[in-house]
Amino acid sequence: MIYKAEKENIAEHLDIWSNSYKLYVPSETGELVLYETKQEINWQQVPVWGGIKEFVFPGRNRVVGNDENKKTKPVMLVGVRGCDLRALVEVFDKIFLEQEPADTVYKKLRENLTLVSVDCREPAETCFCTAVGGNPYGEKGFDLNISFLNDEVLMETASGKGEKLFENIKLPKASKEDIKKRDDIRDTSERAVKINFKRDYKKDNFREKIENNNDKKYWEEKAEDCMICGGCNFACPTCYCNLLDEVSDSKEIKKVLQWDSCQLKGYARVGGGANPRPDLWERFRQRYLCKFRIMDEEFSVPGCTGCGRCISVCPADIDIRETIEGLL
Amino acid sequence: MSAEKLKNPYNPIKATIVNIIVNAPDIKTFKLELEEPIEFATGQFIQLTVPGIGEAPFTPSSKPGRGKNIDITIMKVGVATGVLHKMKAGAKVAIRGPYGNGFPLDKIRDRELLIIGGGVGLAPLRTLIYEVMENKERYPRPLLLYGCKTPEGILYKDSFSDWEEDFEIHRTVDNPNEEWQECKGVVTTLFDKIKVDTDECAAVIVGPPVMMKFAALELENMGISPERIIVSMEKNMTCGFGKCRHCLLGDYYVCKDGPVFTYKQVKGIPGAWD
Ligand SMILES: Cc1cc2nc3c(=O)[nH]c(=O)nc-3n(C[C@H](O)[C@H](O)[C@H](O)COP(=O)(O)OP(=O)(O)OC[C@H]3O[C@@H](n4cnc5c(N)ncnc54)[C@H](O)[C@@H]3O)c2cc1C
Ligand code: SF4
Ligand code: SF4
Ligand code: FES
């Protein structure tokens, strides 16, 4: 269902929903926009740091030895972007819910989450979702999607959870013209994103280009400035490599799951010291291989949704687009 | 919503070390009693929790099947195994699993079977030896080739005399002592001593990566199809069930597509033996 509302009404709606949900909204915190429990919402600045990942798969999370039955207030995450939704639905849900055994800790956090996405109208210079099969608006996986028109907003529900939000809020349905207006705005945004990376992962065959290039020199050159900090992995909405930290005491078994990074030297090291990828260039290339070949094979979408976070985060100014461009 | 409550896959079953057997310098067999039974097949592995230290994957070395008692034979190589080796009977650990595919019985039954072990690699192979001994009619001619650095390093020293009834056995060591009267050299030197129908036989190799690499290569050169050469791969593992990506080898998850592979599947993959 697509409803239509006045821009000003959104605050009232959020107010109503905050009675039943713990609300997180994108808001300015220093130079960054983060999901916070604050009131002021920055609807347009991207990327929103932390993204959805932290809400379903926290950076460090006790997975054994916590109270699994503890009740928590439902969480509503407002201002979610298409790129992050895609990573959640196409990668995380598949790995942690669909593929057996399901991760019960993830499942609980995921089911507790109501996702309110928003169309991007001001893509950042680092955004390139359109080059990797995505779009600057929620396509699937949201419960409610908000599209800002000029003075009005369209609110599209896509699930029972989304529909439930309007049980006590009466709004008119959007007309054909309203939807046309929304789609025109979306087209404009798409064009704005396309300027950032004028390539298409399918047509330009990123996968084969990466697979076929095992030229040590090329990858060494690209990885030359890498500081091996792992930031690109931690910031990425599709990366979920993890380690189990054993923190049991004499009374109880306790384990903490924490993010890991394939760029770190010890990532694939085996007992005794053997290492399949001791050199940085191999690990650097592996990240591209993993995203554009292995994940593409596994999930039928590449493991990059073009959110651009790895570009902004990298202290060495390494740009995934430039690395790929050099292979085409 | 599923009707049945899902189990947290990271939650291990508590276990007690009831006995520790010293097999060789740096190799011990830990006899565990679990609070709940598990059922494992030959070649499958478990994740062992060393409380407060870490987890590490091991293949049980006792008879496959269901039960609360399993043996794990462990070589001391680093942090977790180092702490394990200092533990005494009565100590508490935990395990989860079993994971992985195990040895492909459909590929090895009713053929001449060449079991090739190197060092601590005999531990996982012991479950296969049990499989052969329990199902003799399915293994027309089993052979066991075993290589070790030193005679002291040989695992399960007392068991060979039992196994000799069912297996043709050849052993070699890199560094013999004065008493050693069997072969000297790496395990592939034993290949000259055996006669097998290379068009039909199957081989299972478990040992250090370089040993598996060269043994598999040699067998292929002898004319055994890479599809009938079976190896068990060791890669870094966190979860054991396809959710951490540490074990990726090419497109394969070693934890769930393996750890047992045919040589054909893995031979061309960069880093396979590192
Ligand atoms: C399927 C499978 C079955 C196995 N079966 C057996 C068996 O039956 N018997 C047996 O003896 N062994 C077996 N192994 C090998 C066994 O798992 C390893 O020997 C064991 O994990 C070593 O643990 P450790 O902590 O002692 O070694 P360490 O070398 O201390 O480290 C092991 C882990 O810690 C991490 N680590 C340690 N130091 C560093 C560092 N400097 N930088 C980054 N990371 C580091 C690595 O990620 C590594 O995975 C098996 C392995 C696999 C995969
Ligand atoms: S963020 Fe940049 S410097 Fe850090 S590991 Fe990734 S590529 Fe290397
Ligand atoms: S690889 Fe970079 S641009 Fe692509 S999804 Fe991950 S963080 Fe975003
Ligand atoms: S061990 Fe975690 S994916 Fe294989």
> Which pLDDT score, from 0 to 100, does residue A238 have?
97
pTM beyond cutoff 0.90: yes
Residues B210 and B198: their CA atoms lie apart, in Å, by 22
- For residue A6, the tally of other CB atoms under 10 A from its CB is 11
Q: Tell me which amino acid residue B141 is.
A: R
Tracing tokens 């039955």 back to the chain, one arrives at A69
Tracing tokens 């290589």 back to the chain, one arrives at B147
Domain co-membership, B140 together with B241: yes
Best mutation site among A219, A229, A312 for ligand 2, i.e. most ligand atoms within 8 A of its Cβ?
A: A229
User: Which residues on A lie below 8 Å from B269 (Cβ)?
Assistant: none
- Which of B65, B82, B99 is a domain's end point? B99
Burial (CB count <10 Å: 0-12, 13-18, 19+), residue B180 = middle
pLDDT, tens only, A115-136: 999 999 999 999 999 999 999 9
Burial (CB count <10 Å: 0-12, 13-18, 19+), residue B87 = middle
Output the six-digit token pair for A203: 């047509």
Residues A15 and A8: their CA atoms lie apart, in Å, by 12
- Which of B99, B124, B157 is a domain's end point? B99
Please report the ipTM that was assigned to this predicted complex. 0.93
Domain co-membership, B140 together with B257: yes
CB-CB contact of A323 with A316 (8 Å): no
Residues A131 and A202: their CA atoms lie apart, in Å, by 9
Output the six-digit token pair for A78: 């407002």
| Residue B62 belongs to some domain of the structure | yes
The minimal CB distance from A247 to the residues B9, B52, B241 is found for B52
CB-CB contact of B20 with B31 (8 Å): yes
Q: What is the CATH number of the domain that holds B10?
A: 2.40.30.10
Tell me whether residues B242 and A242 touch, CB distance under 8 A: no
Domain ranges of chain A: 2-196, 206-325
> Which pLDDT score, from 0 to 100, does residue B4 have?
62
Helix (H) / strand (E) element for A161: namely helix A160-164
| Residue B271 belongs to some domain of the structure | no
Q: Which residues are within 8 A (CB) of A16 and not within 5 positions of it... i.e. 6 or more apart?
A: A168, A169
Output the six-digit token pair for A244: 């189990």
Angle at A156 between CA A151 and CA A160, to 5 degrees: 145
Q: Tell me which amino acid residue B158 is.
A: D
Tell me whether residues A246 and B243 touch, CB distance under 8 A: no
Domain co-membership, B125 together with B229: yes
CB-CB contact of A143 with A161 (8 Å): yes
Q: Which of A20, A15, A88 has the alpha carbon at shortest distance from A51?
A: A88
CB-CB contact of A132 with A304 (8 Å): yes
Give me the average pLDDT of each 10-residue run along chain A (328 residues): 93 93 93 88 90 94 84 93 96 96 95 96 95 95 95 95 93 95 96 96 96 94 96 97 94 94 95 90 96 96 97 96 96
> Which pLDDT score, from 0 to 100, does residue A54 have?
94
How far from chain centre, in Å, is Cα B268?
22
User: Which residues on B lie below 8 Å from A233 (Cβ)?
Assistant: none
Domain co-membership, B190 together with B215: yes
Strand partners, B48: B56, B95
From B241, which residue of chain A is nearest by alpha-carbon distance? A101
Strand partners, B45: B99
Task: Write out the residue range of the structural domain in which residue B87 sits.
Answer: 3-99
How far from chain centre, in Å, is Cα B191?
20
| Residue B183 belongs to some domain of the structure | yes
Q: Touching check for A271 and chain B: CB below 8 Å?
A: yes
Tens-digit pLDDT string for chain B (274 aa): 444 678 999 999 999 999 999 999 999 999 999 999 999 999 999 999 999 999 999 999 999 999 999 999 999 999 999 999 999 999 999 999 999 999 999 999 999 999 999 999 999 999 999 999 999 999 999 999 999 999 999 999 999 999 999 999 999 999 999 999 999 999 999 999 999 999 999 999 999 999 999 999 999 999 999 999 999 999 999 999 999 999 999 999 999 999 999 999 999 998 899 8
Domain co-membership, B86 together with B114: no
- Which of B46, B67, B99 is a domain's end point? B99
Q: What is the CATH number of the domain that holds B229?
A: 3.40.50.80
Q: Which residues are within 8 A (CB) of B141 and not within 5 positions of it... i.e. 6 or more apart?
A: B112, B113, B168
Q: Residue A274 — φ and ψ, nearest 5°?
A: -65, 145
User: Which residues on B lie below 8 Å from A107 (Cβ)?
Assistant: 6
CA distances from A37 to A18, A26, A55, B174 (A): 10, 9, 13, 66
User: Which residues on A lie below 8 Å from B54 (Cβ)?
Assistant: 246
Pocket of ligand 2 (CB under 6 A): A 226-232, 263, 313-316, 318
Please tell me the total count of domains within chain B.
2
Domain co-membership, B211 together with B244: yes
Sheet containing strand A32-36, strands side by side = A2-6, A152-157, A144-148, A113-118, A75-80, A22-29, A32-36
Tell me the pairing of strands B168-173 and B141-148.
Answer: parallel
From A269, which residue of chain B is nearest by alpha-carbon distance? B236
Count Cα atoms within 13 angstroms, Cβ side, for A50: 19
Output the six-digit token pair for B253: 């998850």
Reduced to 3 states, what is the DSSP secondary structure of residue A131?
helix
Q: Which atom of ligand 2 is nearest to the CA of A263?
A: 5
B253 lines ligand 4 (CB under 6 A): yes
Domain co-membership, B111 together with B83: no
CB-CB contact of B218 with B205 (8 Å): no
Helix (H) / strand (E) element for A4: namely strand A2-6
Gyration radius of chain B's alpha carbons = 18
How far from chain centre, in Å, is Cα B237?
16
How far from chain centre, in Å, is Cα A284?
21
> Which pLDDT score, from 0 to 100, does residue B3 have?
46
Tracing tokens 């001791």 back to the chain, one arrives at A278
Q: Which residues are within 8 A (CB) of B105 and not within 5 positions of it... i.e. 6 or more apart?
A: B42, B131
| Residue B273 belongs to some domain of the structure | no
| Residue B141 belongs to some domain of the structure | yes
Exposure string for B141-162, b = 16+ CB within 10 A, e = fewer: ebbbbbbbbebebbbbeeeeee
Output the six-digit token pair for A292: 């554009």
A280-289 helix and A216-223 helix, angle to the nearest 10 degrees: 90
Domain co-membership, B126 together with B74: no
Reduced to 3 states, what is the DSSP secondary structure of residue B237?
coil
Q: Residue A167 — φ and ψ, nearest 5°?
A: -55, -40
Domain co-membership, B202 together with B126: yes
Angle at B98 between CA B92 and CA B102, to 5 degrees: 135
> Which pLDDT score, from 0 to 100, does residue A38 have?
82
Window B:230-269, CB contacts with A under 8 Å:
234-236, 238-239, 241-246, 248-249, 251
Q: Residue A296 — φ and ψ, nearest 5°?
A: -60, -40
Strand partners, A64: A255
Output the six-digit token pair for B17: 């070390």
